[in-house]
Structure 1
Amino acid sequence: MPTPHEAEKQITGPEEADRPPSMSSHDTASPAAPSRNPCCLCWCCCCSCSWRVCPRQRCFLSATRNQERRRAWQASRESKLQPLPSCEVCATPSPEEVQSWAQSFDKLMHSPAGRSVFRAFLRTEYSEENMLFWLACEELKAEANQHVVDEKARLIYEDYVSILSPKEVSLDSRVREGINKKMQEPSAHTFDDAQLQIYTLMHRDSYPRFLSSPTYRALLLQGPSQSSSEA
């Protein structure tokens, strides 16, 4: 007479009787990871790797390269724009040049010393970002390398156009909408309308106060005194 164990084995079959107890879906072991490919640049594998890992790794590497490029360009840009040059660093303007600044805003902005003095005045009014944006646009228009244009345009947008930036300049909705469309394919002239609007704002708003400021009056008085002392 067969034992209870042998009877169960006869009913279920030899293969099923020797099979280990079934596991639940939570206990099922995950499939083995594919083998690594030595040609792969990421830590997991190459073409045979899982889609859940490789795209994430590729995004990480791409983001790292973008951050490195951005840090390098920002360092270059800050070395050109951020330090506020004093009148001693720029060529000392002649009395005639200082007087010409009152004739037109264009003459002030075309003078390196004039831009330096005017930028110092804008800083006292907490609107220096207008001059920084204008200078960044001028630098962008002088760039011929399309890759650099793309990078500079993106940084200008983030620094001066984005509503999240503390250095956001004042632009109307029409100009902002135009920039958003042009940013799909940036060019050296993506911000031309915005630059003109900020130029006009500085001309109408800040420039008259600059001409009446103690800074400009001191320069007007400083010129004749230096000329008479040299004579």
Structure 2
Amino acid sequence: MKCSAGRKVFKDFLKCEYSEENILFWLACEDLKRESNPEVVEEKARLIYEDFISILSPKEVSLDSRVREIINNKMVEPTSHTFDEAQLQIYTLMHRDSYPRFVNSQMYRKLAQLPVPNRKGSIA
């Protein structure tokens, strides 16, 4: 996640898996954390909420009810850290679920120039 080129390739992989909203949410939260102007923070927080938290959003991320409640309470006066718990939950989801599939994907293997296993599991 520290390397912009790596994030782009991972984002492309997530797009193929129809879960691109996870990295987009994570990146939006990182952008929000860099903001110090309270008016801009509030506007960005509202956009993040509408884009990724609202149940009406087509890009809604999968969060548990506890985290949703925390966010709803914090949205009364949003700060640059309003989505920290949600961001951690989505990061953990990507780390445990999407990233291992990415590392085992043909896309990653081609990028890393690793041999691609054949159908029986051995390296071709």
What residue is the counterpart of 2:4 in the other structure?
112
Distance 1:142 1:111 in 2: 17
> Gaps (5+ residues) in structure 1?
1-108, 223-231
Residue 102 (structure 2) pairs with residue 184 (structure 1): no
Give the drift of 1:219.
Answer: 1.1
Point out which structure has higher relative CO (alpha carbons under 8 A, 6+ apart): 2
What residue is the counterpart of 1:36 in the other structure?
none
Distance 1:179 1:217 in 2: 38
Residue 41 (structure 2) pairs with residue 149 (structure 1): yes
Distance 2:102 2:17 in 1: 10
2:63 is paired with a residue whose SS is coil
Counterparts of 1:126-141 in structure 2, within 5 Å, are: 126-141=18-33
Partner AA of 2:112 in structure 1? L
Distance 1:141 1:178 in 2: 17
Residue 103 (structure 2) pairs with residue 211 (structure 1): yes
Distance 1:221 1:167 in 2: 32
Task: From the CA coordinates, give the structure whose radius of gyration is larger.
Answer: 1
Give the drift of 1:204.
Answer: 0.4
Distance 1:195 1:220 in 2: 28
Distance 1:121 1:139 in 2: 22
Give the drift of 1:220.
Answer: 1.7
**Superposed CA RMSD:** 0.9
Partner AA of 2:92 in structure 1? T
Partner AA of 1:115 in structure 2? R
Give the drift of 1:134.
Answer: 0.3
Partner AA of 1:196 in structure 2? L
What residue is the counterpart of 1:174 in the other structure?
66
Q: How many percent of aligned residue pairs carry the same amino acid?
A: 73
Distance 2:88 2:45 in 1: 16
Give the drift of 1:127.
Answer: 0.3
* Per-residue Cα deviation, 1:157-214 (whole angstroms, up to 9, x for no partner): 0000000000000000000000000000000000000000000000001011001101
Give the drift of 1:221.
Answer: 1.5
Distance 2:5 2:85 in 1: 26
Give the drift of 1:130.
Answer: 0.2
What residue is the counterpart of 2:53 in the other structure?
161
